[in-house]
Amino acid sequence: GIGGGVITDITGYTASVYMRGIRFGFVPTSILSLVDASIGGKNGVDLGDYKNMIGTIRQPSFILHDVSLLASLPDSEWVNGFAEVIKHACITDLAMFRQLESHTVADYKGSKKLLAELIRRNALIKTRVVQRDEFEKGDRRLLNFGHTLGHAVETQYELAHGEAVAIGMTAACHISEELSGFKQTERVTSLLGQYGLPTYADFNRKQVFDVMTMDKKRDKKAMNYVLLEKIGRATVQPIPLKKLEKIIQALD
């Protein structure tokens, strides 16, 4: 599959079910697919309003990274991809967070060396998590930071994935303030803004919550929500659905 996250998902899913599974590989051509979507073996397609409801976990035979393929990307796709980079920094890498604070999208676009190192660092973060927890029973759940509300907003309002995840991360930071004592929300939202990502959307709270209740991270009457304790350290907390609904309704 040669392309971005949608292409790698469709390719991986089709190959993993055709003839009970055939070999496949990826040549990702966007920031988002280089650092996230092509890695980990999750191959999903949407079902109606629900994100990645049909899918498989099957690893590609190879993933070929070539940063020269990014030369034709529009600016919006550069911004979109940096949401996942910032996510990785928030959950596991304070040093990378600080590096991102000292640079801009233009810096990475202008330096192939700087960009290649950032992509390598992010690819290793996700690869190591997946190697420890391929089927998302433990640490891999942390990679869902920003995605619970983000996926719901994305399907309802036709936002780019990175934009929706940025809004989801902002919401998760506010929830983290209440439930895990997080005190660095402004620093996270400032970095998102620095990279051209949104931190707010005037969405229908009830409609989005209803979609969230179908999220795969739900466990009976609770949602396993990824929260931050501090930048570089994340945790998963089960939040009762009734409590989560009140929290979502109260979000600014």
Tokens of 126: 């996700």
Residue 57 backbone dihedrals phi, psi, to 5 degrees? -120, 105
Q: Is 178 a catalytic residue?
A: no
Helix (H/G/I), strand (E/B), else coil: 110: helix
Contact criterion met (CB below 8 Å) for 32 and 162: yes
Given the residues 51, 88, 151, 217, select the one marked as catalytic: 151
Q: Is 20 a catalytic residue?
A: yes
Given the residues 51, 87, 88, 126, select the one marked as catalytic: 126
Q: Is 151 a catalytic residue?
A: yes
Q: Is 65 a catalytic residue?
A: no
Tokens of 21: 């599974």
Q: Is 42 a catalytic residue?
A: yes
Given the residues 77, 84, 163, 245, select the one marked as catalytic: 84
Given the residues 87, 141, 147, 217, select the one marked as catalytic: 147
Given the residues 77, 122, 136, 217, select the one marked as catalytic: 136
Contact criterion met (CB below 8 Å) for 208 and 220: no
Q: First CA to last CA across the chain, in angstroms?
A: 40
Given the residues 43, 80, 122, 144, select the one marked as catalytic: 144
Given the residues 20, 23, 113, 137, select the one marked as catalytic: 20
Owner of token pair 């971005």: 4
Q: Is 140 a catalytic residue?
A: yes
Q: How far apart are CA 237 and CA 152, in angstroms?
A: 19
Given the residues 88, 140, 141, 217, select the one marked as catalytic: 140
| Catalytic center residues | 20, 42, 84, 126, 136, 140, 144, 147, 151, 161
